[in-house]
Amino acid sequence: MKKFSHKVTYAIMATLELGIRYGTSPIHAKAIAHNQSIPARFIEHILSALKQAGLVTSHRGAQGGYILRKEPAETSLAEIVQAINGATTTYNDNGSINGHQEIPTAHDALLSGIWQQLHDAELAILRSISLQTLMEQYQELEDKRVLMYHI
């Protein structure tokens, strides 16, 4: 089964950090990276992609940083994944290679519908999970981790 790339995982965690701090002052990229263990070399690229997608906004200056544009309950995982991976909507079974039209094989024709169904199902699942839901699950995991640490 397909897993998220590191870049998508980091984007989800950066957005999660912004969700946790939603309604407060902006948070610097370095603080997001530190709090969520995101390598510093990735954070600016990730935040730039999220900003370009309209998921976050930035403020300049000493008191500046990043904030979510929408409430966490209104942001889906699909939006975050698409901000990083791009919005792919369909699988093309008659693409081109090096400018030449490729003739679809029987395998392509047979499997393209299945790949499209998988893609559609994955997208539906990601759309059904809000950042708020993810934040609640994250908090539960953090609470358990703290309890285990004290035992």
Q: Which residues contact 92 (CB under 8 A, 6 or more apart)?
A: none
In whole angstroms, what is the distance from residue 58 CA to residue 46 CA? 13
pLDDT attached to residue 101: 61
Report if pTM > 0.85.
no
- CATH fold, domain 6-150, is Arc Repressor Mutant, subunit A (1.10.10)
Give ∠ CA 14-18-20 in degrees, rounded to 5. 115
Instruction: Give Cα 67 distance to the centre of its chain.
Output: 15
Q: Which residues contact 90 (CB under 8 A, 6 or more apart)?
A: 116, 119
Mean per-residue pLDDT over the chain, rounded: 87
In whole angstroms, what is the distance from residue 89 CA to residue 41 CA? 30
> Could you read off the pLDDT of 55-107 as tens digits, one per residue?
999 999 888 999 999 999 999 999 999 999 987 655 454 444 445 566 667 77
The domain locations on the chain are 6-150
Give me the sign of the Cα torsion angle 67, 71, 77, 82.
Answer: negative
Residue 38 reports pLDDT greater than 70: yes
